[in-house]
Structures are given as C-alpha cells and as structure tokens.
A and B are shown apart, each in its own frame.
Chain A
Amino acid sequence: MNTALLPLVTGSEVTFWIVAPLAVLGALGLVLSRRAVYAALSMAVSMIALAVLYASLGAPFLAMTQIIVYTGAVMMMFLFVLMMVGIDTPDSAVETLKAQRPLAVLMGVGLAALLFFGIGGAVHYAPATVIEANAEFGGNVEGLANLMFGRYVFVFELAAALLIVAAVGAMLLSHHQRVTPKLGQREQAVERMKAYADAGEHPGTLPNSGVYATTNAIGAPALLPDGSIAEKSVSRTLVLRGAAVDPLPLTRLTSQTFAAIEAVTEDEADE
C-alpha cells in the first residue's frame, strides 16, 4: 500500500478534532443552561474532554488527576452544594446593570480575538513533544516526580500548606454555633406529650401517604375513613413545593371499580 497517498493524520490529531468540539460544547452548556445541575454536568463533559486531550499530549498522569480531582472531587462537591442550597432556585433574568449581557458577550469575543491574534503564528515550528522527557526516567509519572521532589520541592511544600489552610478555613467558615440546645429524644418525647395534653395532638407516628390503585407516591395524601384528606400524611415541604397530588381523581377509579362490582353482585342477586 502506498502510504504517501494517505493524508498525514496522527492519532492525536483525530483525538483533538473529536474532543475539542465536545469541550467547547460543554463550556457553552455551562454558560447557557438555565439550571445549575445541567451547567454542572456540561462542565463535567468539558473536563473529561480536557482529560482526554491531556492523555493525547503525553500527560497520562495529569489526565488521571484531572478525572479524579476535577470530575471526581470538585464536581461532586459542586453537586453536593447545589443539592444543599436547593436546585430549584432558577437564575434570575433581571439585569441589575444595564446592557450587561451584550457587553459581557462583546468583551468575551474581544478577549478571544485578542488571545487568537496573540497566539496565531507564535508557534511556527514542530512541537518537541514530551516523548523523550517522559522516557528519561522511565515514564511520565517518574519524570513528574523527579521535577516535583527536585526542582519544585518547595512549591510542593507550599501546596501542602495551602491545602491544610484551605481545609481548616472551610471548616471554620461552615461551622455555626448553636443558639438553642439540641433536642434529645427525651425532650422531644416530653414536648410531644405536652402537645397532647394541651391541644390533644396525636402523640404517635404520623400517618402514611395514601395507597391508591394507580399510585402510592409520597405526594399522594391518605384519606380518612370519612373520605376527607389527612393533612399530616404528606410532608409540608412537598405541599409547599406544589408536589402534593389531589387524591380525588385517584379515588375515582377505585370507586368506579367498586360500583361495578356492586352492580354485578346486585345483578346476580336478581337472578
């Protein structure tokens, strides 16, 4: 086979043209999606794409670190905080500064153009590639270790100090002092019995959510024997969010079936 007729396409080039659009799409998804969780997931796509690029650039250690540290630790932490602060708070569309959005986009285009012109033509020779540097100590990890514990050992120590300070600082920031004493089991029981004595509130467990022929979701309230809704069978949070289901349409199917069964037995009784 004549290899001269084939275009000179290397593996890393194919990788780049597959992965680079993915990275850009992920970045655009991060900026454009209205829900924070979708933004976080697009960000993860972008980060994994970058990890693949690192691997194709002869940096397998960084590729693995990227996946473990960024998509593993950092994005999970973002998702934890998203769940804590409520994912339902949408981004407000109100502009506090006039014409901020168009100006921001214009600035972004300008920045990109500036960087492109700065970079364009700056590299006009073939890359040296890190193949030799990787092979020098028997591998990429060994080469990085040689630098990290050799020339950059002081930076390494500083990074360790930084991580300790960050961890302690985060604990200090998220720590909050109790203003009321914590209620134990005994205090809660006393309170419950007091409510029973004063207001006649039921001291036992709260009723279950309703079980219907078509659903037993926790949003469906249970019905009392007289057909009225048991208010306490659905969590207040669900009611506030509007996730509670109206039980009347749910009971209709059951009552229809019961009516049909009754009709049959009446027919049989007639015969």
Chain B
Amino acid sequence: MMNPENYLILSALLFAIGAVGVLVRRNALVAFMCVELMLNACNLAFVAGSHITGVLDGQVVAFFVMVVAAAEVVVGLAIIVSIYKTRRSTSVDDANLLKL
C-alpha cells in the first residue's frame, strides 16, 4: 500500500502553487481561479485524511467546502463583473479607489 503522505504532499504543492498565483497574477479572474486551486488542494487533503483515518467525515467536509466554493465563485464573479462595468478593467491594480 502506498504511503498516504504522497496525497498530502501533492495537496501542499498545489496549495503553494495556488498561493503564488494569487500573489503574482494581476488579472482578477486568474487570481480568483488560483484561490479555487487552493480550495481544491484543501479538498484533496480532506479526502486523503478520510482515507488515512478510515471515516467518511473528511469527505463530508470536502463536500461542504465545494458548496462554499461554489457560493464564493458566484459572489466573486458578480463583484468582478460589476467592477468591470464601472472601470472597464479586470486588473486588480486598477481597483484602487480606496487607497489613500
């Protein structure tokens, strides 16, 4: 049987890549997709945890994370669209009206 740690390490790797993407990319949509990647990485860790411990609770939590992610995408995309309507740009650098 393969060491279940491999799943956790893959999940950590995906999480780190997603975090770098959020910091590096300027397009709000791509940054948002990187957040989704981080959530997915967490889901993988939850499912792997369920596999390691042998109870299904981890899978239930992963399911709820998916629900929250779906709700978050809906609201986040609506915000991006409404910012685009007023500023004609999806770059996170352009939305700086709150800056001092």
Contacting B81 at CB < 8 Å: which of A85, A108, A143? A85
The B-contacting residues of A in range 126-153, CB under 8 angstroms, are: 126-130, 132-134, 140, 143-144, 147-148, 151-152
- Asked whether, in the complex, the Cβ of A23 is within 8 Å of the Cβ of B51, the reply is no
What interface size band does chain B fall in?
Answer: 35 or more
The A-contacting residues of B in range 9-43, CB under 8 angstroms, are: 9-10, 12-21, 23-27, 29-30, 32-34, 36-37, 40, 43
Is there a chain B Cβ closer than 8 Å to A191's Cβ? no
- Asked whether, in the complex, the Cβ of B77 is within 8 Å of the Cβ of A101, the reply is no
The B-contacting residues of A in range 12-45, CB under 8 angstroms, are: 12-13, 16, 20, 23-24, 27-28, 30-31, 36, 39-40, 43
Is there a chain B Cβ closer than 8 Å to A212's Cβ? no
Q: In the bound complex, what is the Cα–Cα distance between A258 and B53 (angstroms)?
A: 81
- Asked whether, in the complex, the Cβ of B56 is within 8 Å of the Cβ of A130, the reply is yes
Is there a chain A Cβ closer than 8 Å to B78's Cβ? yes
Is there a chain B Cβ closer than 8 Å to A111's Cβ? yes
Contacting A112 at CB < 8 Å: which of B6, B13, B25, B40? B13
- Asked whether, in the complex, the Cβ of B47 is within 8 Å of the Cβ of A23, the reply is no
Q: Which A residue's beta carbon lies closest to that of B4?
A: A127
Q: In the bound complex, what is the Cα–Cα distance between A144 and B37 (angstroms)?
A: 24
Residues of A in contact (CB 8 Å), total 86
B42 → chain A, closest Cβ, in Å?
11
Q: In the bound complex, what is the Cα–Cα distance between A98 and B1 (angstroms)?
A: 48
Contacts of A144 in B (CB 8 A): 56, 59-60, 63
Contacts of A165 in B (CB 8 A): 71
Q: A-side interface residues toward B, CB under 8 Å?
A: 8, 10, 12-13, 16, 20, 23-24, 27-28, 30-31, 36, 39-40, 43, 46-47, 50, 53-54, 57-59, 61-62, 65-66, 69-70, 73-74, 77-78, 81-82, 84-85, 89, 91-92, 96, 100-101, 104-105, 107-109, 111-112, 115-116, 119-123, 126-130, 132-134, 140, 143-144, 147-148, 151-152, 155, 159, 162-163, 165-167, 169-171, 173-174, 176
